[in-house]
A and B are shown apart, each in its own frame.
Chain A
Amino acid sequence: MAPKQTTLSRDLLIAGVALLVLLILPVLWPSKALSDLIIRVSAFSLFATSLNLLVGYTGMVSFGHGMFFGFGAYCFGLSMQRLGVSIPTALLLTIALTAVLAAVVGAISIRLKEIYFAFITLAFQMLLHSLIIAWVPLTGGDQGLMGGIPRPEFLGIDFGLESNRYAFSVILMIVGLLALRHVAESPFGYTLRMIRDNPERASFLGVNVFRTKLTAFIIAGIFGAVGGVIMAMFVSGAYPEFANWTMSGEGIFMVMLGGISTFLGPTVGAVILSLLNDLITRRTEHHGIFLGVIILVFALGLRKGVTDFIADWFQARRESAGAQLKGGRQ
């Protein structure tokens, strides 16, 4: 991954334009299906990008990232239902609690290497999932949080309006992605890459590998949970399926399909997978076969994510242009 010369202002510009486009879109093209798609992509984009902070940037393969998605959804839902707070307060509370969960899980898991780290994150996720299903008085068990999530007014914004909820989801996504981008392109982010490429060397250079990985794990957990919050608002509830291994699996596929080596790869993957899912389920009930075959084509044919493919292609062109230039000078 060649470090690009990005500046904060360039990212802000892109983010601003994207936000504008997304906010104007429902006015220009009023399709509820499209808005629903964008809201879901917002949730999954944060989820997958935060996962990639671990997988792509730090080299930590986590099988249990879904635990944060689910935990975020339940924290938010329960705060709104039981504590009657405003939406931003519930969001902040969710972030705080998720940080604690991530810290505890991370502190135990990060000491393990590679596949064992993956397994123990999976184990923790399954434990959380079992807890959610078993603790019926709190979570509703396998029925999920029943009764809907309240939508109280905040600062004059009526969250009962679908358009306001859409705007809120989109803003959360853009802000979240910006924050993650900032982390990825900061010196901390480059330390993560160094740890991914050569952890021994990193530690010789004085980097506290454990503490850095733990911080990355906590940040990833937090943004995974924010994705869960967006989804909870969309379905007006929280369900144990959000914390199931299938959710972790979907996150991994979005990252792999979209591209592990670019920042927007996971978001692209989220868009691809959601579109594929919508199109396939609209036409057939044998979605397993179709989705499976398409995934195989990607995995065995491209053998890398879509944006990886594109990035490599550009790189190859640049190199051949450079070689031509050198050849010409000689």
Chain B
Amino acid sequence: MVIRDSKGQPQEAARVARELVNSDGCEILYDAEASSGGFAVHEVAKDLGVLCIHTNSETSSLTADPKIRIPNAFRVCRQGIHDSIAGGAYAAEIAKAKNLRNWATCSPDYAYGRDSTQTFMEYLKHFYPEAELKTEAWPKLFQPDYTEVITKVIQARPQALYTCLWGGDLTSWIDQGNIYGMFSQIQVFAVNMADYTALTTVKNLPQGIHSGNRYIKTFPNTPQNAAWADEYRSRYGEYPTNWSWQNAVGIHFLAAAAKKANSVDGTKLEEVLRGLTIESPFGTDGTVTIRAEDQTIVNYAIGWGTTIPQEPYVPEVKAISWETIFELETEWKKRNNYL
């Protein structure tokens, strides 16, 4: 396996991808780039026809849009639309129970932030029409000082808030929100909270943040998943992250496909990967499938739970039904003329 770093520059990603295939003789591209880098590598895969596995880009249009989708590229990571439907469904139940009508959003101002927040609110209202968006805050991505967005949100006095902040941003936002007492006043729904990097780094994790799962050992609540997390931790000294399980499942798929096709030729692997189902500790029912029609994974564990300030951080995660997700995803695709 040849590993390269694109320095976060998409033209570097493109150059490196081409070099790996043209000069280094690589036959499979394993793309862990986000956003623009992922699309740059996607174009290279289109040009060179090489098998490409995307393990990080969550933009739904990468596989949903038939104008962008290509037969030799597969996505083995979660998708924005799945997260939003799941989040909306879960939040609506809580909102109904606690009568949370006034909502606020506070998400980073870039494509993922806008899309995710907007579709979440759509699906929240789909399941709970009484929800009303009272105020929005849009900090810049990687903005260090969230004071003005926090105070803005607090003053609007919402009952609930959605945020898709992640990683270091989420951590500093929580730190700063804490000193304003934000979490005692508002029910916070953070789709990217249940990831160990965020959970273990925040020193004063508030109780009761509704968290979407990125990767958490307690979900799926199976011995296989727990075993994988423990083995990972003993090998690398830290808990797995969202990227860990996604890349792992990518390799699992490749291995299974190679065995099934009895070959490592890219074209043969492509045919086998389409529609392939494997057993996986990350599947909602023990299996994960690469859906044939748009070459992206489905049936992976998606769920929400609430935080406690110590291990296991999110003790109980409620799984969201994939039937609901499929139904609404199809309707979303039709709306966007992807079908």
Contacts and interface: CB of A to CB of B under 8 A. Distances in A.
Do chains A and B make direct contact within the complex (CB under 8 angstroms)?
A: yes
A237 B68 CA distance: 12
A236 B47 contact: yes
A185 interface: no
Given A146-B61, A241-B9, A281-B7, A36 B19 contact: yes
Contacts of B9: 241, 246
A159 interface: no
A282 B109 CA distance: 34
A268 to B, nearest CB: 20
A281 B4 contact: yes
B23 A33 contact: yes
A82 B196 CA distance: 43
Given A141-B110, A281-B4, A33 B10 contact: no
User: Looking at B19, B43, B109, which has the most chain A CB atoms within 10 Å of its CB?
Assistant: B43
Given A36-B19, A285-B5, A143 B11 contact: no
B333 interface: no
A134 interface: yes
Contact of B110 (A31, A33, A40, A142): A142
Contacts of A237: 10, 39-40, 43
B111 A142 contact: yes
Contact of A143 (B22, B23, B35): B35
A147 B68 contact: yes
Which of A142, A143, A277 has its CB near the most chain B CB atoms (within 10 A)? A143
B10 A239 contact: yes
Contact of A239 (B5, B11, B141): B11
A67 to B, nearest CB: 16
Contacts, number: 90
A236 B18 CA distance: 13
A80 to B, nearest CB: 13
B181 to A, nearest CB: 32
Contacts of A152: none
A141 B111 contact: yes
Contacts of A235: 10-11, 14, 40, 43
A144 B114 CA distance: 15
A235 B44 CA distance: 8
Q: How large is the interface on A (under 10, 10 to 19, 20 to 34, 35 or more residues)?
A: 20 to 34
B101 interface: no
B17 to A, nearest CB: 10
Contacts of A146: 39, 61-62, 65, 68
A32 interface: yes
Interface in A120-165: 133-134, 136, 140-144, 146-148, 162
Interface in A175-212: none
16 contacts: A31-B23, A36-B19, A40-B11, A136-B114, A142-B35, A142-B110, A146-B39, A146-B65, A148-B46, A162-B47, A235-B11, A236-B47, A241-B10, A281-B5, A285-B5, A287-B5
Given A142-B35, A143-B35, A236-B47, 5 more contacts: A142-B110, A144-B39, A144-B40, A148-B43, A239-B36
Interface of A: 31-33, 36, 40, 133-134, 136, 140-144, 146-148, 162, 231, 234-237, 239-242, 246, 277-278, 281-282, 285, 287
Interface of B: 4-5, 7-12, 14-16, 18-19, 22-23, 35-36, 39-40, 43, 46-47, 59, 61-62, 65, 67-68, 109-112, 114, 141
